[in-house]
Amino acid sequence: MPRKPLPGVASDNYSIHSLSKKVLITGAGGQDGYFLVKLLLQRGDTVHGLLREGSENEIGSLKYLGEAALARISIHRGNITEKWFIDELIQRELFDQVFHLAAQSSVAHSIEHPRATIDTNVLGLTNIATSIRDRSPKTKLLFTGSSEMFGNLTDGKQSEHTPRHPQSPYGLTKDFGFQLINAYRNHYGLWAATAILFNHESEFRGEQFVTKKIIQSVARIADGRDEVLSLGNIYAERDWGYAGDYMEGVLDVMALKRPDDFVFATGQLHSVKDFVNLAFKHAGIKPEWNGEGLDEIARDRSSGKVIVKIDERFYRPGDIKGTCGDASKAKQVLAWQAHTDLNGIIEHMLRHEQGLATN
């Protein structure tokens, strides 16, 4: 299917996606992989997915695509930290486009395991970019960066020009990636771009992230089960968007003739507590909050049961207090916008969770 012409894009920097492309998605089994693979298959591309070695029967979120779609994907298994493996794959397949999504993506995990995070995120990207440079220089490379590279929100929203002050090992690896992509673009002429993604959620979100954790508990509480949702800093604020919207933006970046970096965000700031309240509201439960700090709790107003408590173990050293993105460049150049607001995100997530429970 040909891509829509984009109203805001200067025509000399936009290539109509009329010919089928041969595309590799690393980390295809994750949340973002699901949406990206779906969009690429709809476009008629030849899709290759790279999944982590060692989980041979696991295809992650791809299982939700269904049999017919799955039959159209070529799955490769391997480790992005193995240079020989990446070299061989890139040289043999000569992809038109590589979307590098594979990463250790949990900030909390990166604090506990900085070395493993650096291995996967830094070595992995370096291997892929260097293999493309040396063995398939016409391949376009898109790296999914992160708002974590900015660190805390100071004044104004964070854009492509905001100074970067990463706080976590994960944020440092994403800052490294952003700079490496720039260096390879400027020094070696590679088509290489970073999509700087703010928090993006969906029904396929991993359980280690706060939104999924909240939705799973809310669904169980709504189902009448005895459950208390334990959280860390509920006053942390994030700019939460819908992963499906962000992957559409990522495709728009890849369609540009000249590479460039773009922020994808909603520009709306909400606290973890706001998310909790909204999720309960969607499930028909009214939380009543009392107490402060580690003693803060929420009770179900109708049953009186404690449904939320604070647990020190979920606090992070150096947590980012707030991030909020300015996606006006993506709006202007790519005619991109986030269609799904926080209510829409919660609806998608809760419906999926409640559906799983009844299956």
Known catalytic residue: 148?
yes
Q: Can you tell me which of 272, 307, 333, 342 binds ligand GDR, judged by CB under 6 A?
A: 272
Residue 63 CB: number of other CB atoms within 10 A? 13
By CB under 6 A, tell whether 195 contacts ligand GDR: no
Q: Whole-angstrom Cα distance, residue 179 to residue 64?
A: 34
Q: Whole-angstrom Cα distance, residue 53 to residue 280?
A: 38
Instruction: Tell me the CA end-to-end span of the chain in Å, nearest whole number.
Output: 34
By CB under 6 A, tell whether 105 contacts ligand GDR: yes
Residue 188 or residue 315: which is nearer to ligand GDR going by CB?
Answer: 315
- State whether the Cα torsion 212-311-287-152 is positive or negative: negative
Residue 58 or residue 311: which is nearer to ligand GDR going by CB?
Answer: 311
Give backbone dihedrals phi and psi of 238, rounded to 5 degrees, phi first: -135, 160
Q: Which of these ranges, 40-48, 57-65, 132-140, 206-214, lies near ligand GDR under the rule CB under 6 A?
A: 206-214
By CB under 6 A, tell whether 47 contacts ligand GDR: no
Q: Whole-angstrom Cα distance, residue 328 to residue 262?
A: 9
CB 186 within 8 A of CB 236: no
Quickly list DSSP for 28-51.
TTSHHHHHHHHHHHHTT-EEEEEE
We find the least distance from the C-beta atom of residue 313 to ligand GDR, in angstroms, to be 8
By CB under 6 A, tell whether 210 contacts ligand GDR: yes
Token pair listed for 166: 């990463």
Q: Can you tell me which of 199, 216, 217, 340 binds ligand GDR, judged by CB under 6 A?
A: 199
CB 196 within 8 A of CB 147: yes
We find the least distance from the C-beta atom of residue 225 to ligand GDR, in angstroms, to be 19
Q: Whole-angstrom Cα distance, residue 128 to residue 353?
A: 35
By CB under 6 A, tell whether 277 contacts ligand GDR: no
We find the least distance from the C-beta atom of residue 219 to ligand GDR, in angstroms, to be 16
By CB under 6 A, tell whether 297 contacts ligand GDR: no
Q: Can you tell me which of 17, 38, 140, 238 binds ligand GDR, judged by CB under 6 A?
A: 238
Q: What angle do CA 253, 257, 259 make, to 5 degrees?
A: 55
Count the residues of the shown chain that bind ligand GDR, applying the rule CB under 6 A. Answer: 22
Q: Which of these ranges, 180-188, 232-240, 242-250, 324-332, lies near ligand GDR under the rule CB under 6 A?
A: 232-240
Residue 150 CB: number of other CB atoms within 10 A? 26
Residue 100 parent element (H or E): strand 97-100
By CB under 6 A, tell whether 310 contacts ligand GDR: no
Catalytic residue among 14, 34, 170, 184: 170
Q: Whole-angstrom Cα distance, residue 262 to residue 194?
A: 7
SS3 (DSSP) at 69: helix
Q: Which of these ranges, 15-23, 142-150, 216-224, 285-293, lies near ligand GDR under the rule CB under 6 A?
A: 142-150
By CB under 6 A, tell whether 316 contacts ligand GDR: yes
Q: Can you tell me which of 43, 114, 123, 209 binds ligand GDR, judged by CB under 6 A?
A: 209
Q: Can you tell me which of 61, 146, 167, 340 binds ligand GDR, judged by CB under 6 A?
A: 146
Token pair listed for 116: 């493993």
We find the least distance from the C-beta atom of residue 292 to ligand GDR, in angstroms, to be 16
Q: Whole-angstrom Cα distance, residue 318 to residue 111?
A: 9
From the list 56, 113, 44, 119, the residue with the least C-alpha distance to 83 is 119
By CB under 6 A, tell whether 117 contacts ligand GDR: no
By CB under 6 A, tell whether 118 contacts ligand GDR: no
Q: Which of these ranges, 44-52, 71-79, 157-165, 202-210, lies near ligand GDR under the rule CB under 6 A?
A: 202-210
Q: Tokens 């970046």 label which residue?
A: 253
By CB under 6 A, tell whether 314 contacts ligand GDR: yes
The residues that touch ligand GDR, with contacts defined as CB under 6 A, are: 105, 107-108, 146-148, 198-199, 208-211, 213, 231-233, 236, 238, 272, 314, 316, 319
Q: Which residues are the active-site residues? A: 148, 170
